[in-house]
């Protein structure tokens, strides 16, 4: 689920807020800034829904970034050479293109059946 802090940072990064819990443990958002600068409940709901829809892609990008980081050494100009270098460049490009080329989700909105490219051997 989208985190309230992430949602509020997008909508109004300068507004100060806190979460206060009532006696039953129910959280309530309390604004510490001028209310005219703070987003409406409707705007918060819309942004929350938007961020929830983007979570699967965020997870996909995180895994992709981890895979890219593991093979950063192969992206250096002096290593490796020749055909091996071309294979690593193609692999890294496939990883970078993955989020824009991948769409399938399950009924819960999670990315499914991700086929990550195989690194060169």
Closest CA to 8 of 51, 56, 54, 62: 51
- The per-residue pLDDT for range 59-117, each reduced to its tens digit, is 888 999 999 999 988 878 777 777 888 899 999 999 999 888 876 677 676 667 788 89
**How confident is the model over 23-66, as pLDDT tens digits?**
998 888 999 989 988 999 999 999 999 888 788 788 888 999 99
In this structure, what token pair is assigned to residue 117? 């490219």
With a CB cutoff of 8 Å and minimum separation 6, the contacts of 85 are 74, 79
């Amino acid at each position: 689920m989208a985190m309230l802090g992430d949602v509020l940072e997008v909508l109004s990064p300068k507004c100060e807020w806190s979460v206060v819990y009532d006696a039953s443990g129910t959280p309530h958002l309390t604004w510490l800034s001028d209310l005219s600068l703070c987003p409406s409940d409707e705007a918060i709901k819309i942004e929350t829904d938007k961020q929830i829809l983007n979570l699967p892609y965020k997870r996909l990008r995180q895994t992709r970034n981890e895979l890219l980081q593991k093979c950063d050494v192969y992206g250096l100009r002096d290593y490796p050479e020749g055909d091996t270098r071309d294979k690593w460049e193609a692999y890294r490009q496939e990883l970078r293109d993955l989020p824009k080329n991948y769409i399938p989700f399950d009924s819960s909105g999670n990315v499914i059946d991700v086929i990550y490219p195989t690194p060169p051997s």
